[in-house]
Structure 1
Amino acid sequence: MNSLTHRFAVVCSLAALAIAALPACSPADGAVPAPSASASASSAAEARYVAMARGRVDVPGGLLRVPSPQRGLIQRWAVEPGDAVRKGQVLAQIDAREARLALEQAQAEQAHAAAQLDASRARLPALRTRMERLQQAQKAGAGSGQAGDDARAAVIDAEQEQAVQRTALAIVRQRVAQASQALSAATIHAPVAGRVVKRTAEVGEFVDAYAVLLNLLPEGPRIVRADLNESLVTRVKPGMRAEVVSVAEGSAVHGAHVLSIGEVFGPPGAPDTSGGETIVDARVVECLLQLDDPELRVGQRVLVRFLPSQPAK
């Protein structure tokens, strides 16, 4: 029994020593833990930039909405979404049967008016000759005054009729020009070179005049419209370099340079509410940047990181 009692006492003593040593292994009261490696890297990365702003990719002038110059049925499409088009290339054809009939009718009226004017011009020299002959005979006492007056009246009537016919011919020519323009407008051409993004109607559908037929992405450099916070405006200058990364991907870095900074403050163009927070009464100014490459798509949300200006050498 004495041996067992002695062993139990030794075990209890060792356990007490282990419990007493535990506080020495824990951090001292009030000690600040060292920053993590990821937090340090993030702070160092932010220190490289003079400002950051959210934005969206665009093209100068934005997407081009191509309208229909006149109302009518879509007869055929010459392009599909995604097709690259040249300036002046045919995009679509509106049913032009009415416009063609109107042009043919106007051309027939023009030919009729021109024929009437030609006939009147052909009669006028003979009438003038007769009038002059009668006037000479009257002066010589061989003719009557009434015949001379009648000849002079006939010339005046012919001249007035010819003036009316010239006016009528000019009006008909205007109708021909309008009908020809309407016929030409039935064929929709690309106003600029670019790529077809979307068609808004199908073959056989009726469209009103000036209704949008398709959206066209013009060729040209990609730009970024960034919402620069009012507290950061003085840090950014035209010509500064910047890094642009996609908000969705965030891996690939695209170079850009600042084109201009707006003069008017306003609300953000595309506020970011993905985090569930809304900034009240935020004021930003639009900052335009031109991308070095066209890899990003129009409308894509991006983060712009402005780099410090390089010192002059």
Structure 2
Amino acid sequence: MNRVPSSLGILPGLTLLTAALLALGGCSRGKESASLIPAAAAQTRSASPVAVARGKIDVEGGLLELAPATSGVVQQLLVKEGQQVQKGQVVLRLADEAAKADLAVADSESQLAQTKLKTRQARLPALKSTLARWQAAAKEGAADLQNVDEAAQALRDAQAEAEIAAAEAQVAKHRFEQLRALQQRHELRAPEAATVVRISAHAGSAVQSGGNVMVLLPKRPLIVRAEVNESFVPAIREGMKATVLADGDGTAGKPEFPTATVQRISPIYGTARLQDDTQRGPVRVVESVLVFDQPPANAKVGQNVRVSFHE
């Protein structure tokens, strides 16, 4: 009978000890949880963008619009849309029959002038030798001075004719080169390696001088032109990293393109072309140009994107 009260007296002590241990454990976990909250918040803040902007994918320098240097009728269209072209490759040729005929005449005149010049120059060595013989004979008393004078005059006349022939050959050469340059104006060449993206002419169509007939996409790195709202301008700087997403693709948080780096920031404000508030009127923006850290696989020039700038 005396043992029962003894064991019952121990239970309250054990209960108090257990409660105390649980209380200590709870306090410890609470402190650990509290210490994790600021770290998570800091990580979230570092991952949050400091600025966002709408942008458009472009190529440095823009697309190439080709126009003929002279008016005429398209004789040959030597490329098609989607074709790769190399620098200097002829992509279009205008009808140039008259230019070809003039060039052929100029070529014949140039060759004739060169032949005449060679003939005149070929006479000079013999005339110089004749003059030298007469001069030697005159010193020996075997010839009179009249023969020497006649030989000297013949040499002077031949030299004058050779100089005139040389001038005529030079004029003919320049005329040929001029006409050849004019004929080349009937050819349209690719200024650099590129892809043909649009052709607005066909064989037989009339084109005007300076009129755009072809658009090329040059083989240069793609860039992003982002319109940064004036409220975000102080938060961006050159060298800042950014993520680029296709505008409205629904892939929030998942970059579609490689990361990009801010290359330059325009020193002037302009009016937004990609973002406009109809209630507040035109939006003032500063253009920021970004370069991709790696060549994007699926990007296309003219594609609208959203840019998030990060510290």
Same fold (TM over 0.5): yes
Shift in CA distance, 61/294, structure 1 to aligned 2, threshold 3 Å: farther
Q: Which residue of 1 aligns with 2:288?
A: 286
Tell me, in whole angstroms, the C-alpha distance in 2 between the residues paired with 1:287 and 1:232: 15
The one of 261, 269, 288 aligned to 1:258? 261
* 2:73 corresponds to 1:73: yes
- Deviation string 1:129-185 (CA, Å, 9 cap, x unpaired) is 332233333334443433322221221121122122122212322333334444455
TM-fit CA distance, 1:219: 2.2
* AA at the equivalent of 1:212: N
Q: 1:82 to 1:122 in 2, by over 3 A?
A: closer
Matched, 1:267 2:270: yes
Helix, strand or coil for the counterpart of 1:62?
coil
> Residues 93 and 186 of structure 2 are in contact (CA less than 8 Å); yes or no, is this contact kept in structure 1?
yes
Shift of 1:278: 1.4
Q: Contact 2:227/2:288 (CA < 8 Å) preserved in 1?
A: yes
Following superposition, the deviation at residue 62 of structure 1 comes to 0.4
Unaligned residue ranges in structure 2 (runs of 5+): 1-43
Is the contact between residue 266 and residue 286 of structure 2 (CA under 8 Å) also seen in structure 1? no
Q: How far apart, CA to CA, are the structure 2 residues paired with 1:83 and 1:53? A: 34
| Residue 134 of structure 1: aligned partner | 134
Distance 1:256 1:92, change over 3 A: same
Structure 2 CA distance for aligned equivalents of residues 291 and 202 of structure 1: 40
Equivalent pair of 2:75/2:94 in contact (CA under 8 Å) = yes
CA contact (8 A) 1:75 1:204 kept: yes
Instruction: Return the letter of the residue paired with 1:117.
Output: L
Partner of 1:29: none
Distance 1:250 1:178, change over 3 A: farther
- Residue 116 of structure 1 is matched in structure 2 by 116
- State the distance in 1 between where 2:211 and 2:149 align: 63
Counterpart of 1:147 in structure 2: which amino acid? N
Q: Post-superposition shift, 1:63?
A: 0.3
- Structure 2 CA distance for aligned equivalents of residues 51 and 250 of structure 1: 19
**TM-superposition CA deviations, 1:38-76 (whole Å, max 9, x none):** xxxxxx999821101122111011001123244432112
Identify the range of structure 1 (268-277 vs 195-204) with the bigger mean alpha-carbon deviation: 268-277
C-alpha contact (below 8 Å) 1:222/1:291 kept by paired residues = no
Q: In the alignment, is the contact (CA less than 8 A) between 1:230 and 1:285 conserved in 2?
A: no
Cα distance in 1 between the residues matched to 2:279 and 2:234:
29
Q: Which moved more, 1:54-63 or 1:130-139?
A: 130-139
CA gap 1:161/1:54 in 2 versus in 1, 3 angstroms: same
- 1:124-203 aligned at under 5 Å gives the runs 124-184=124-184, 186-203=186-203
> 1-side partners of 2:89 and 2:125: how far apart?
52
Q: What aligned pairs does 1:79-90 form with structure 2 within 5 A after superposition?
A: 79-90=79-90
Q: Give the letter for the 1:153 counterpart.
A: Q
Counterpart AA for 1:284: V
Amino acid at match of 2:82: G
Q: TM-score, normalised by structure 2?
A: 0.72
On the 8 A contact 1:237/1:258 being kept in 2, the answer is no
SS across alignment from 2:276: coil
Q: What's the % identity of the aligned pairs? A: 31
Q: How does 1:236-247 map to 2 (within 5 A)?
A: 236-247=236-247
| C-alpha RMSD of matched pairs (Å) | 3.0
- Worse overlay, 69-78 or 79-88: 79-88
Counterpart of 1:299? 302
Q: 1:137 to 1:176 in 2, by over 3 A?
A: same
Q: What SS does the aligned partner of 1:255 have?
A: coil
Q: 1:82-137: CA deviations, max 9, x gaps?
A: 33334444422222323322332122112211111121122222322332233333
Q: 1:52 touches 1:306 (CA, 8 Å); kept in 2?
A: yes
Shift of the 112–89 alpha-carbon distance from structure 1 to 2, 3 Å rule, reads closer
Whether the 8 Å contact between 1:222 and 1:294 is mirrored in structure 2 is: no
- Measured at CA, do residues 46 and 214 of structure 1 come closer, stay the same or move farther in structure 2, by a change above 3 Å? farther
Quote the residue 1:40 is aligned against. none
Given the alignment of the two structures, is residue 206 of structure 1 paired with residue 206 of structure 2, yes or no?
Answer: yes
Give the counterpart letter for 1:130 in structure 2.
T
Q: Deviations over 1:231-284 (max 9, x none)?
A: 43342234433222333545474333123132512213515236554146x252
Which residue identity is paired with 2:154?
A: A
SS state of the match for residue 197, structure 1? strand
